Amino acid sequence: MAGLDDVFGDLFSSVDAVALFSPSGSYYERFTDLDDEGDLDLIVVGTENDVGAETFVELPLEFDDVSDRIRFGLEGAFDQDIIDDGDTLACATSVFSDDIDTVSRVRADADSRTGIYDLFARSRADPEVVKAVLELAIELGQKGQKGKPVGALFVVGDAGKVMNKSRPLSYNPFEKSHVHVGDPIVNVMLKEFSRLDGAFVISDAGKIVSAYRYLEPSAEGVDIPKGLGARHMAGGAITRDTNAISIVLSESDGLVRAFKAGEIILEVDPEAY
């Protein structure tokens, strides 16, 4: 239709790179054919590099939400030094079908990085498990327990070492069970148990190993922001002494924080999620 290029052409004008999210081979070839002079920076983002792209950012899982998908892809590109702060990208992805059907013009902002790439892509635990625990903590932060704010601590991955650096506060309701996080019925149980003290310990594959664990890592050298208490200190320290990550819901300010290697790498406001 006449005139559309004049309007939608602005989406592609003066872009620094084009990011293709899970393109088919033929779609990718159409872009490489355009790049005869080598002046088109082309980035492929997906769970697999099926097209053999030279510049590739891996998604550890498929993000259903398009904004999450693009945000993760950009953080991965930042992490690999593929893009710079202030770059403008045309991000082509699928929304309504399996094929790419939507293009978004996005400005890369280094200050808006959340740490989500490091949390998912470089954690020992399965990405789907990390996602399930993060979403559970966010849901608890949104709704609380019986209408009241609650705090919770989930330690994910390297469960054997975590168990060795902790002790039981009470009986372990999951000792002889084989239940996994992400199951709706199990999540209801976890929400109920969140009212009581202690950490949940979850394996790399998502098996709930224990509840009511008192973590006993050394807190020496662990630096957390002022105002955060023992739950955050324990959550940070256990990730420095093991290869686990921890996801902490604060009862006082309602924020969800993720720790890795003794440092906060993600902070989420459940009400804004």
80, 113, 146 - which closes a domain: 113
**Separation of alpha carbons 136 and 184, rounded Å:** 10
What's the sign of the alpha-carbon dihedral 176, 158, 258, 253?
positive
Domain containing residue 198: 118-272
Same structural domain for residues 149 and 94? Answer: no
In angstroms, the Cα distances linking 266 to 9, 134, 247, 257, 263 are 36, 10, 9, 6, 9
pLDDT digits (tens, 9 = 90+) for 84-121: 999 999 999 999 988 888 999 999 998 888 888 888 88
pTM to 2 decimal places: 0.81
60, 82, 113 - which closes a domain: 113
Same structural domain for residues 77 and 157? Answer: no
**Separation of alpha carbons 69 and 171, rounded Å:** 40
Structurally, how many domains does the chain consist of? 2
Q: Any idea which of 126-130, 165-169, 199-203, 265-269 has the lowest mean pLDDT?
A: 265-269
Same structural domain for residues 207 and 259? Answer: yes
Amino acid at 141: G
Same structural domain for residues 124 and 104? Answer: no
84, 113, 142 - which closes a domain: 113
Burial of 80 (0-12, 13-18, 19+ CB in 10 A): middle
Q: Is the pLDDT of residue 157 over 70?
A: yes
Same structural domain for residues 191 and 218? Answer: yes
* pLDDT at residue 266, rounded to an integer: 87
